[in-house]
Amino acid sequence: MGSEKYPENFTAIVVGREDFHNYRLFDLLQRTLGQDRVLRCLETHHLLEYLEMKPLNAVGVFLDICGFDPEESVNTISYVRDTHPSVVFCLYVDFHEKERYWRYLSSAWRTRFEHYFYLYKVPKDVEIEPVVRHSLLLVAHEAVWNIQRGPIRITPPEVVSLAPSGDAAPSEIFVSYAREDWAAFVSPLVEQLRDRGYRLWVDQHFLVGGEKWMDALGAALDACKLLVLVMSPASLKSKYVKMEYRYFFHCDKPIIPVMYKKIKHMPPELILMQHIDFSQGSRRESFRQLAASIDSFLAQI
């Protein structure tokens, strides 16, 4: 299960009403942390009751914030921060719901929420476990920091990920692709990009679905500044590729789509994105365009 990575005195609480997304999150947290260390509250007042019973525990609250009235959510967070300041919140939201919901918040709360941990809801055909595991790890360590060390931080610190073993510096570019496309296209492309000095993260040395892969993937998604998305029929069917590009999209981090093979039905979120076409014409010219796009994005970050 891998729960030994998480502090022993840490408890996770999912606060949200009955729906697929909250059940899914609750199940993944239990599988990762252990059934006895994850609780579920259907109403915000249930959360307050639990915290009164366990005031000294390191607690991370995954709050389906848009599932409650804005005033109720804000009042709950304010009360918890005043009475149990060590508690760490992770806001669990639908990306589009968030845009509408935020209109009802004061500018002060919108600004404050920019610094909170976030976890975004995704459809059933998109994998979420690596992102959940990484969010859980960040929230757990922040909660334990608040309990053991202090001073208590009202908002999470900026997360600085360590460089992968053997690298001189952290990776900047995440390469998202289907394993079926590795040998014929992705591997040569990665080699060319590394020859130009770009620091890439690829998951080729991990067993897909394994715990080490999930943990490394979650950390890489968080740390990398730019995503190169290799598009093909195989990659756009992959639940993991969908998770990767949607994570970047939700976090407002740049994506460079690279067309390896033609796509008949482009996902709605990718339709308006300008892509670099490697499926026809000169691959040398396409690579020049890709390198120029990467340089442009990295210069702006």
Q: Distance (Å, rounded) from C-alpha 150 to C-alpha 127?
A: 35
Quote the percentage of the chain above a pLDDT of 90. 62
Average pLDDT value for residue range 92-112: 90
Give the model's pLDDT for residue 14. Answer: 97
Task: Pick the more confident residue, 133 or 145.
Answer: 133
Q: Distance (Å, rounded) from C-alpha 258 to C-alpha 292?
A: 13
Lowest mean pLDDT among 14-23, 50-59, 237-246: 50-59
Give the model's pLDDT for residue 250. Answer: 86
Average pLDDT value for residue range 160-177: 62
Do both 102 and 19 map to the same domain? yes
Give the model's pLDDT for residue 7. Answer: 81
**Using a CB cutoff of 8 Å and minimum separation of 24, what contacts does 47-55 make?**
47/13, 47/15, 47/76, 47/80, 48/76, 48/79, 48/80, 50/13, 51/80, 51/83, 51/84, 51/87, 54/11, 55/84
Q: What is the pLDDT of residues 247-288, one digit of tens each?
A: 999 888 999 999 999 998 898 889 889 999 999 889 999 999
Do both 62 and 189 map to the same domain? no
Do both 106 and 235 map to the same domain? no
CATH number at residue 244: 3.40.50.10140
pTM above 0.85, yes or no: no
The domain total for the chain is 2
Sign of CA dihedral 236, 130, 18, 48: negative
Contacts of 42 (CB under 8 A, 6+ apart): 16, 17, 18
Q: Which residue range is the domain that position 118 belongs to?
A: 3-148
The verdict on residue 153 lying in a domain is: no
Q: What is the pLDDT of residues 38-84, one digit of tens each?
A: 999 999 999 999 898 877 678 999 999 999 999 999 999 999 988 88
The verdict on residue 161 lying in a domain is: no
Do both 200 and 105 map to the same domain? no
